[in-house]
Structure 1
Amino acid sequence: MNSSVRSGRDASALLRLVSSHFSSESFNSSSFFLSYMALSFGGDIEIILSTFHFWYTHFLKVIFMPRFEIDVDPCDHLTADAIGKPGQRVFYLQAYQEQRTITVIIEKAQLNSLAIGIEQFLAQINEQNPNLTEASGDYVEDVMRINPPVDPLFRVGEIGLGYDKDRDLVVLFVKEILTEEDDPETGAVIRFWATRTQVRMLARWGVEVVSRGRPICPQCGQPMEPEGHFCPKKNGHLH
């Protein structure tokens, strides 16, 4: 390997060389910085690698870390709810732990899918652990209602489920939705650790919350507005 690069004119060659020492993700985001170092240090590759390694370790690596990670472990309470009129509702997922309230925004379809996924996931857990008692899904509506402060930390993009057999706890993890310009590794993450009963209550209540929206037109399958519905199956006639 050449130990030096003569000038800034060879910056592209230097960048290709340095890229082999670091992940492509961090390298691509740092090409400008490397070009600057190539000019500043006259192309001395050893100095450049050493300097870049220090910079990457102390500064760049932070860029690719999540904005924040929160573990609500364990949840004292876990619920979901919607606020607003049918057709304009905003859906939330919320957990309490002692004096802390954690709230995020989810989509109606996400809540519906989560409810279905929880039931399937719990069925798998019971199948693999036949000695476990069945989790109850009975809930009290007033208890499951979302409580203030409704101050969401972010809008959810990804949802997943896991199970800690030793603790008999389900972990519901959500990740922040990002724009196309954002690095996917920087999305904030929250993990809600809850009992099987808590997540089953969430699932059963979630189905109820979703069903309280606009009624579905039996003809076209689209939501019907309170003031009337222009159904394409009826040639757009209001009914």
Structure 2
Amino acid sequence: MTHQVHAFEPPERFVAGTVGPPGDRTFFLQARGGGRVVSVGLEKVQVSLLAEKLEELLAEAQRRFGVDVPEAPGGQSDNDPLDTPVDEEFRVGTLGLAFDVDTATVVIEAIAAGEQESSGAGGDDDVSAALLADDDEAEDASLDRLRVRLTPAAVRGFIDRARRVVAAGRPPCPLCGQPLDPRGHLCPRHNGYHR
């Protein structure tokens, strides 16, 4: 079976987005470049953790290597919808992050869910900050992957959009924190008796 590595170094566009109404959204990472568009599916928690870990990676790169990291996304924010059609290439099991000191870029790698993820090891919300070396790729060469290389300014724009996408869902219940449904909410803090 042929396994694909979808590499965009750098992409014309790399964003997190959703399809569907709040409460029934499907989350995607989408990369566009060189006349092609690749969309991979993932969970909301993975998008949230990816934004958080990218923020930490930028802070560490600035602290250790003196990389110039913008405070706010440079230029105009990307508020456009995902490119259509949104065809899921694979479901993400693991996300890997690395900072390439030579080029001062961030490498993000989304690896397809494999047998080890479905058996419980790793999990859907596994975000690992690891150096993506050629030797490591041989271990998981049997899994499809999406790899993008971004400048710190592009990463800052991705983080901004990812946080907005995650926050655009249903508002949380002020008592229990679970998402509020427009039809009502059976809150466990009220033993389900209060709507």
How big is the shift at 1:228? Answer: 0.3
Distance 2:187 2:78 in 1: 34
Q: How does 1:1-239 map to 2 (within 5 A)?
A: 67-130=3-66, 132-135=67-70, 136-138=72-74, 139-143=76-80, 145-179=81-115, 185=140, 186-239=142-195
What percentage of aligned pairs have identical amino acids? 33
Please say which structure displays the higher CA radius of gyration: 1
Greater share of helix residues, 1 or 2?
1
Larger RCO, structures 1/2 (Cα 8 Å, 6+ apart): 2
The 2-side partners of 1:237 and 1:179 are apart by 42
Kept in 2, the 8 Å contact 1:156–1:174? The answer is: yes
- Structure 1: unaligned runs, 5 residues or longer: 1-62
Q: Encode CA deviations 1:199-224: one digit per residue, 9 max, x unaligned.
A: 11111111111011111111112111
Contact 2:8 2:147 (C-alpha < 8 Å) held by counterparts: yes
Report the counterpart of residue 37 of structure 1 in structure 2.
Answer: none
Q: CA deviation at 1:84?
A: 0.8
- Tell me the amino acid that sits aligned with residue 119 of structure 1: E
Q: What TM-score does the superposition give when structure 2 sets the normalisation length?
A: 0.81
The number of residues matched between the two structures is 173
Taking only aligned residues, the RMSD between alpha carbons, in angstroms, comes to 2.2
| Separation in 2, partners of 1:211, 1:194 | 23
Q: Write the distance in 1 (CA, Å) between the matches of 2:156 and 2:169.
A: 21
Unaligned runs of 5+ in 2: 119-138
Structure 2 CA distance, aligned partners of 1:181 and 1:89?
Answer: 22
**Secondary structure, in 3 states, of the residue corresponding to 2:102?**
coil
Greater strand fraction, Structure 1 or Structure 2: 2
Q: What is the TM-score normalised by the length of structure 1?
A: 0.67
Classify the secondary structure of the residue corresponding to 1:198.
Answer: helix
Measure, in 2, the Cα distance between the counterparts of 1:181 and 1:221.
28
- Provide the C-alpha distance between the structure 2 equivalents of 1:181 and 1:231, rounded to a whole number of angstroms: 32
Contact 1:219–1:233, Cα closer than 8 Å, also in 2? yes
Question: Who is 2:128 aligned against?
Answer: none
